[in-house]
Structure 1
Amino acid sequence: MDRQLALVSLTVEIMAVVDLVPQGTAYGLLIGLGVLFCGVILVAIKIQRAYLSEDSGTSEMFMVANRSVGTGLTASAVFSSWMWINETVLSAAMCYRYGLAVPLWWGSGLCFQIALMAALGVMAKIRVPYAHTSLEIIRMRYGWIGHVIYMVLNLTNNVFGCASMILTGSQLIHGVSGMNFVAATILIPLGVVLYTAVGGLKATFLTDFLHTTVALILIIYFTLSVLAHPAVGGLAGLYDKVVDTASENYISGNFEGSLLTMKSEGAIIWGLILKFGNLALVVMDTAFWQKSFASEVNSTVPAYNLAAIAVFGIPWGLGTVIGLSARALHNTPIFPTYPGQVTATEVSQGMVMPYLVKALLGNSGMVAFFVLLFMALTSTVSSSMIAVSSILSFDMYKTYVNPKASDRRLLHVSHIAVVFHAIFITGISIALNYGGANMTWIGYFRPILSCPGIIPLGLTLFWSGQTRLAAILSPVLGFFTGLAIWLATAKSMYGEVNMATTGKNLPALYGAIGSFFSPALYSVVLSLYKPHTFDWREFLRIELIEETPTESSPTEETKEPNPKTDNIYVSAEIDTDTSPTDYPRRLSLDDVSHPFSAETLRNLYRWSNIAWVMFVALVLITFVLWPMPLYRDYIFTKPFFSGWTTVAIMWQFCAFFAVVVYPLYDGRFEIAKGIRGVVAEVNGLGRGK
């Protein structure tokens, strides 16, 4: 423990030496951006309620946005939720550490999970059309014990994922400005709490779009500005400088120690660990399931696949340019740490990118970096808040505390849960910091913790033969299997078990593999021990939450019809004395019918086939056909490097059109309707005066 505390103290001392942004500016930006986004979203919510008949004062709207979100906005929201600090700041840091192989492996480690979620999401729409969270599906099939176990898995996954982002962001803010770490940790989620608690999931969709727009503009700006700087000299200049400094930038484990080769042992191990961890962050995160439930019937697959393809270019382009430029310039007088070296701790905490931005783009560049950091942080935090609040309110409170809770009461609990999660996650982030953790160590531990539930959760939707016993025990056994492999490997290879040895890449990789694959074996064996076949019609007993009319929630008689969602409500007459939870369970399975028409179901199954084809194609291309032929004794030539990086930069522009321009086109009618409403009201006020 003394060693860990000493490491934290040393880290603070090292990072406090170079203040890249004045502390007052950092406070102003963090608070000002939070207030600005809160104000924007509150205005947007008012416009939604007044002119688009979208009321965030109901739990269906709060949790799943009335299942009416289109393709463009869904793609933008998924992209934003998945554009963590990792894809920007840490991808550059890992490229600095291992070379240009890392950004490509990073891109491939981001896209296939979203493509898989498209397949899972469309199957969830087919099997459980009224679901609000993935845990609701687990409870319906496996009972309360399974529900509690998967609730713990989901919550720990969300907590560690969100905490790791806040931890890294706070350490970065402290490193670039000297702002007190605890203050930064408190301020990051503060503004997010306000607009998330008020607006719910649709609010996060809208702010996700704003985050995506600003962040992508800044990512393109950083990539092009760094390349165009005279100290770098464009693609040709960057290549020449990396080659000229090769002797002082020798990377152990790379072919000939070069930064310009795909044959990098460290990069491929890092990439594999990242793939397992990211898979858990998507499949075991209720937020991604909720965005799927919130999207229109025909939007899930195209939206998720659009986001999957778009996100590939972010770490690939930005990470390559920033990481290699920092390597080429870190021993020159313009670099902030000169004549000292960038320490391993600073690399792990993502300081490579802010150092380079300060060196090349000055104070204005650092302000832009701070804005990018804020965008990446708050998009992650808002998504996590909705996910956790839904678990605490719907899966915990409504299920075990107050099953007859009204819609208004459930919404009130959701608001409290958002605030509670913000306070709790702040405390966890502070504790992790003083415990000596950083993004790298958490990235290694998270797959071991979260991966065991992935396969059993997927089998819940795709295999009727998975039994309750198998679903309950397999993730528990999988976790202990992965944990044992992780610790035993660290002990065997390095002689002791501590933060340093468990933070090595091979023990983490072996532990992640055991944690991910072993539950599949456990599930099959336990299911065959006492076979049982689940009737898929059971899932149709899950109903939409009953909406109790309130002052802010229009009644059925006065509510404006919504053709996108009205057709999914059950047409059967429901006894008003029976709660939505009790009513469906009284029906015989022979009397339960699917709410979607035969034509809609055929369409959904077609989308399911498309989703699986896209998933397999992305895995084959990004795992095998693209990187593997380059994993050989080869150092990039200048023309090949120029073409490689040019395509990566072009991908960023394609991403901008896919998740910024297209959502505006896709929602043009709603935007026009909102604008007309605002203009009419302003003109009316003007005439009144």
Structure 2
Amino acid sequence: MSDVGDGVSLLSQGTGYGVIIGLGILFAAVILFAVKIQKLYLMEDSGRSEMFMVANRSVGTGLTCSAVFSSWMWINETVFSSVVCYQFGLAAPMWFGTGLSFQIALMAVLGVLAKMRAPHAHTSLEIVRKRYGNSGHVVFTALNLINNIFGCSSMILAGSQLVVGITGMHLAAATILIPFGVVLYTAVGGIKATFLTDFLHTTIAIILIIFFTLSVLTNEHIGGLGGLYDKVTASAADHYVVGNYAGSLLSFKSKGAIMFGLILKFGNLALVTMDTAFWQKSFASEVQSTVPGYDLAALAIFAVPWGLGTVFGLSARVIEKLPVSPTYPQGFTAAEVASGFVMPYTIKALLGSGPTVGMLLLLFMAVTSTVSSSMIAVSSIISFDIYRTYINPKATDKQVVNVSHLGVVFHGIFISGFALMLSYGGANISWVNYFSPILTCPGIFPLIFTLMWSRQSKPAAIVAPILGLISGVSVWLATAQSIYGGISFATTVELAPSLYGSIASLFSPILYSVIISYFTPERFDWREFLRIDLVQDESTLSVSDLSSPDESVAAYSTPNDKEQEKTSLAVNAVERPVENSAADGSATPATELVHPLDEKALQDLRRWYKIAWIFLIVIVALTFVVWPMPLYRDYIFTKPFFSGWVTVSIFWQFFALLAVVVYPVFDGRHEIAKSVQGLRKSLGNQLGGKNR
């Protein structure tokens, strides 16, 4: 079993059980109440599949930004960014942020393109099946499930091991209890519940991140920006980093940091493009909200690894051998660092037990937001891509939702067991982070080509990911054998095997796809995606029972049309027959298929598509070249430059607070006011009835 904490407990078991169980129940109650309010006053019924899976495609920019930020604010960004700064120096948190940013920006491009070409899709796998048939669908379903299983289980694995190390809880109890509350509200509330809980998680987490960063930085043992710089410089001989210029933690020229950054860019790219949850969030957002919501989150996400990781990673180096350290008189062991204890040990040493409970809260926020998104993603695969596709093609809306509920419960049970298996098998967050990219990357470019390249053939889409997986695993193991003389847990978790294996997994499918497509030429008509249908339920009210605006207005409306939009979406998503559905459109020639969005909406989508590409190119140029490359030289940060560097990273945290907490409240002010008014009216009626 993985060594989690070496017996150093920072809090009592009772505190651990109280926080995990109490928060799980509290969040479940809050979200279920919010879902009830939505149903009563906003016409958002999670008992319908379109609402459960894609929130009637009506989520605004602010909530989209908050949800994407929360989904990407994995425990890695909060905990592992401190670990890599501790290991490689201040370059690593910055490289961490660059990887996260461009990945979200890429998803904005894919999300808006999917809205143009497959406006009724619920999952990325529906798009795959429409283009490549059942065989391609099965391959990509397997790749998506592998991605979700490893991504979600790695978060539970890291969270449970940290909870065990902090509180001394039993590993099995922590692993099972962490996702328990998530199952409750996700099974009932669907994706809108995940949007709401993402907002709550993000609000609490970003406030805690700012508090921790400033509190540690101003602690007497650190002494502010100048004190931190002086103490790191004074103890430089005690923490010489091989591969860094002059062995300094304060140099941006770091071989280990840039190798880690490349692994992160490749590996986490799969956790976006191959994760159905990110596609669902783009499907769930309003037409005009996808690109600004995702791109705003791409900017805000820098705040987590950059500022937090820099302050905690360097502060840990300062305090690890001081009497205040929980491990005194010893420093942190390699096992403790690899398991993520840099941040909690530093909080305990400098801030005491109270903030350490806050650290436990932050862990819970980071883990459960990821688990919630994963549960919706996997349940959608089970209900839409397995049940409705192969088991019951004529499933009603109610049947699909019921299977989705069961899918959430099943995934919660399965993923807990899988995380336990990894823990007892000796894995920790570092090993999973370096191993999973090799398994999850092969499908990235074939999936991107599915939406962007009309000439990728069906054989290429099916075979290229499989060959890419074989290539990645082969390079990974061969590199470990060649460089380190053997294949073992210790050698396969090293940077070089993971990096080269990830590169092979990611890029070799491009070559395979091009070659196979050349020998099996095909050309796909994008209009075929218009055959993807909404879920219909004949048992619902007829269209004539409700006022029904034009379908294009339902999908594309202004903020002033919210009330009409909700009614229209509720009708179009479930009750209104779909002109281009698979049921009656399969015999219709592609040239006669009609896009459900009007021409103005499509023109705006094309404009957003161009904006998304421009933003992606600019963010890659700035964060990969213009900003970091001039710093990658024989240079150790001076005190003024270091102070400015950290100050900007802290300002970025406040920018994130505005972007993902304040702005979503402002953006959703009309819905909030409508819900409050409805609730007040209902309470008034009830109190009035009792008085009579």
Q: TM-score, normalised by structure 1?
A: 0.96
Aligned partners of 2:241 and 2:249 also within 8 Å: yes
Q: Which residue of 2 aligns with 1:241?
A: 231
Question: Which residue is 2:658 aligned to?
Answer: 657
1:22-37 matches, within 5 Å, as 22-37=12-27
8 Å contact kept, 2:303–2:653: yes
Matching of residue 209 in structure 1 with residue 199 in structure 2: yes
Match of 1:511 in 2: 501
In structure 2, C-alpha distance between the alignment counterparts of 1:584 and 1:239, rounded to whole Å: 67
Matched to 2:647, the amino acid is T
**Does residue 311 of the first structure (1) align with residue 301 of the second (2)?**
yes
Deviation, 1:140, is 0.2
Query: Residues 530-581 of structure 1: CA distance to partner in whole angstroms, max 9, x if unpaired?
Result: 211111111111111113446xx8976258976437389889x9889x9953
Question: How far apart, in 2, do the equivalents of 1:200 and 1:575 lie?
Answer: 23
The alignment covers a number of residue pairs equal to: 675
- What do residues 216-254 of structure 1 show as CA deviations (whole Å, max 9, x unaligned)? 000000000001111111111111111111111111111
CA change 1:567–1:81 in 2 (3 A) is closer
Please list, as runs of the form range in 1=range in 2, the aligned pairs for 1:292-303 lying within 5 A after superposition. 292-303=282-293
- Structure 2 letter corresponding to 1:379: S
The alignment status of 1:403 with 2:393, answered yes or no, reads yes
**Quick one: which of 221, 224, 229 aligns to 2:214?**
224
CA contact 1:469–1:526 (8 Å) conserved in 2 = yes
Check 1:575–1:193 CA distance in 2 against 1; reply closer, same or farther (3 A cut): closer
From 388, 411, 424, the equivalent of 2:414 is: 424
State how far apart, in whole Å, the 2-side matches of 1:556 and 1:300 are: 32
Q: How does 1:15-26 map onto structure 2 within 5 Å?
A: 15-26=5-16
- 1:483 is aligned to 473
> What residue identity is the alignment partner of 2:631?
L
Query: Is 1:188 matched with 2:178?
Result: yes
Does the aligned pair in 1 maintain the 2:208–2:362 contact within 8 Å? yes
Q: 2:674 matched to which residue of 1?
A: 673
Could you give the per-residue CA deviations for residues 397-440 of structure 1, whole angstroms, max 9, x where no partner exists?
A: 00000001110011000000000001110111000011111111
Separation (CA, whole Å) in 1 of partners of 2:73 and 2:100: 9
Letter in 1 for 2:172: V
Could you list the runs of 4 or more consecutive aligned residues of structure 1 that deviate by over 3 angstroms after TM superposition? Answer: 547-550, 553-556, 558-571, 573-576, 578-581
State which of 237, 252, 273 in structure 2 corresponds to 1:262.
252
SS in 1 for 2:441: helix
Stretches of structure 2 that go unaligned for 5 or more consecutive residues are: 550-562
Q: What is aligned with 2:143?
A: 153
**Residue 45 of structure 2: aligned partner:** 55
Deviations 1:648-682 (A, max 9, x none): 00000000000110000000000000001111112
Alignment of 1:1-16 (within 5 A): 8=2, 11-12=3-4, 15-16=5-6
CA RMSD of aligned residues (A): 1.8
Please list, as runs of the form range in 1=range in 2, the aligned pairs for 1:183-582 lying within 5 A after superposition: 183-549=173-539, 557-558=545-546, 563-564=564-565, 566=568, 580-582=581-583
Q: How does 1:85-100 map to 2 (within 5 A)?
A: 85-100=75-90
Given the superposition, is the C-alpha separation of residues 592 and 220 from structure 1 closer, same or farther in structure 2, using an over 3 Å criterion? same
1:80 aligns with 2:81: no
Change beyond 3 A, Cα 1:554–1:503: farther
**Letter in structure 2 aligned against 1:376:** A
Q: 2:98 aligns with which of 93, 108, 112?
A: 108
TM-superposition CA deviations, 1:49-92 (whole Å, max 9, x none)? 11111111100000000000000000000000000011111101
Greater mean deviation of Cα atoms: 242-251 or 668-677: 242-251
How far residue 126 of structure 1 moved from its aligned partner, in angstroms, is 0.5
Which deviations, in whole Å up to 9, do the C-alpha atoms of 1:579-626 show, x marking residues without a partner? 953222122223211111111111111100000111111111111111
Inter-partner Cα distance in structure 2 for 1:621 and 1:506:
26
Identity %: 61
- The change in CA–CA distance for 1:575 and 1:236 in structure 2 (over 3 A counts) is closer
Aligned to 1:585: 586
Corresponding residue for residue 125 of structure 2: 135
Distance 2:322 2:656 in 1: 34
Letter in structure 1 aligned against 2:267: G
- What is aligned with 2:552? none
Separation in 2, partners of 1:555, 1:46: 24
For residues 143-198 of structure 1, the C-alpha deviation after alignment (integer angstroms, 9 at most, x for no partner) is 00000000000000000000000000000000011100000000010000000000
Asked if the contact 2:543/2:576 (under 8 Å) is kept, the reply is: no
The 3 A distance-change label for structure 1 pair 181 and 560 is farther
CA separation in 2, counterparts of 1:333 and 1:575? 71
Q: CA deviation at 1:299?
A: 0.5
Q: Secondary structure at the match of 2:28?
A: helix
The 1-side partners of 2:516 and 2:531 are apart by: 27
- CA offsets per residue over residues 331-389 of structure 1, 9 Å max, x none? 11011101012111111111010001001111111111010000000000000000000
Preserved contact between residue 109 and residue 271 of structure 1 (Cα < 8 Å): yes
Instruction: Quote the Cα distance in structure 1 between the aligned partners of 2:298 and 2:60.
Output: 16
SS in structure 1 of the partner of residue 47 of structure 2 = coil
Alignment of 1:160-179 (within 5 A): 160-179=150-169
CA contact (8 A) 1:568 1:596 kept: no
8 Å CA contact 1:164, 1:439 repeated in 2: yes
Matches of 1:231 and 1:94, distance apart in 2: 22
| Counterpart for residue 554 of structure 2 | none
- Return the alpha-carbon distance in structure 1 between the equivalents of residues 187 and 572 of structure 2: 29
Aligned to 1:642: 643
Q: Which residue of the partner structure matches residue 685 of structure 2?
A: 684
CA distance in 2, matches of 1:442, 1:493: 20
- Give the structure 2 partner of residue 623 of structure 1: 624
Q: For the structure 1 residues 549 and 233, does the alpha-carbon distance in structure 2 shift closer, same or farther, using more than 3 Å as the test?
A: farther
Give the letter for the 1:327 counterpart. Answer: R
Higher mean C-alpha deviation, range 192-201 or range 590-599:
590-599
Contiguous gaps of at least 5 residues in structure 1: none
Q: Name the SS of the counterpart of 1:564 in structure 2.
A: helix
Q: Distance in 2 between matches of 1:261 and 1:16?
A: 31
The aligned residue for residue 594 of structure 1 is: 595
